[in-house]
A = this chain, B = another copy of it.
């Protein structure tokens, strides 16, 4: 059945305000008349809505517009570069990062630090993250922006609709509700915005990376059906159907890293057997290349350092590394064969560390798809690099503002 109609005038107004903001966000600066034409409301109705959004500091007027239409040129409307902003944060195994993105989608402030978060005590890690959030929020305020909320990307499973990290194997965190940690320090939403209306969410990094690709990447198909595969230390994926993330009942969908690819192969830390991660995860690739994962991590600490090492050696023609990456690509191809059979996506996008290593993974990956599937989907490589999850986090806050502007007025 069709979705229920909005029941109240207030709800209708909220929707129409969001439609006006999205019309400006999707098309760049445009006149009231152009907005009215795009969303199918009268110019009078749009003018009233626009006045409210100007008053709330979400839209600004840029002076005579560039609409090209006949008659008096309209004033062009644009999203404000001084209104609400989204704060995105990322807890990586080797680093912490925070950024602020304005309504126009531009990164206005960012900071990051190397960190040793493997098997860590969550309190101090979240304390350090809180300092970085405050630093970025202060910088944003100095630019006239108002932090409207915080979204945090974590390398682990997050229970759907909650702030609980059920399992983050590389951090060593289990069944940890981040909310008390957030409330107890500067991450608290009150401290962040000075109001009670802030968005605060925790999500899996692979989910946020896929959303960033959908919103910013430029590689996703018009159908909005794709599988996004990313890797940092582990391997994650996210399934996007009709432009929406498929989250699963518990919020655990997209665990491509634990699809069996050698069903009677190596035991996996997840308790499974022959999981993809045992053949294409960072540690597996280092080991297959003849490198000791722990020693290499000690020698090359920091985010992306081992990936850089692998890319450098592969670029130099190191046979052991090339062989290890070919094997990883093949294992990825086998796991993706299963995913393609089940989901029939229009494309597959490789992001994160996989994007960096794509030149050496793709040949065996595509060979595997080709020998197993009659019509394999195209595989493309993300241009967002390792920033995907961080940008996805900040943009998720910005989109929440665009979707419900009344909750985020000054």
Contacts and interface: CB of A to CB of B under 8 A. Distances in A.
Interface stretch (A89-97, A146-154, A253-261, A309-317): A253-261
Nearest to A22: B1
Given A263-B334, A271-B374, A334-B260, A342 B339 contact: yes
Interface string A314-337: 000000000000000000001101
B248 A225 contact: yes
Contact of A5 (B15, B223, B225, B241): B15
Nearest to A345: B249
Given A249-B225, A342-B259, A345-B248, A272 B337 contact: yes
A246 interface: yes
Given A40-B7, A371-B273, A373-B272, A249 B334 contact: no
Q: Summarize A's interface: helix, strand, loop or mixed.
A: loop
A329 to B, nearest CB: 14
A255 B374 contact: no
Interface string A332-366: 00110111011111100000000000000000000
A298 interface: no
A174 to B, nearest CB: 11
A339 B221 CA distance: 23
A216 to B, nearest CB: 17
Contacts of A262: 263
A292 B369 CA distance: 32
A395 interface: no
A70 interface: no
Contacts of A251: 344
A295 interface: no
A161 to B, nearest CB: 12
Interface string A240-282: 0100001111111111101111110000001111000000000
A372 interface: yes
A58 interface: no
A271 B345 CA distance: 19
Contact of A341 (B256, B334, B346, B403): B256
A256 B341 CA distance: 7
Given A1-B19, A2-B15, A5-B5, A260 B346 contact: no
A67 B246 CA distance: 41
* Residue among A258, A372, A373 with max Cβ neighbours from chain B (10 Å): A372
Nearest to A250: B344
B372 A273 contact: yes
Contacts of A403: 1-2
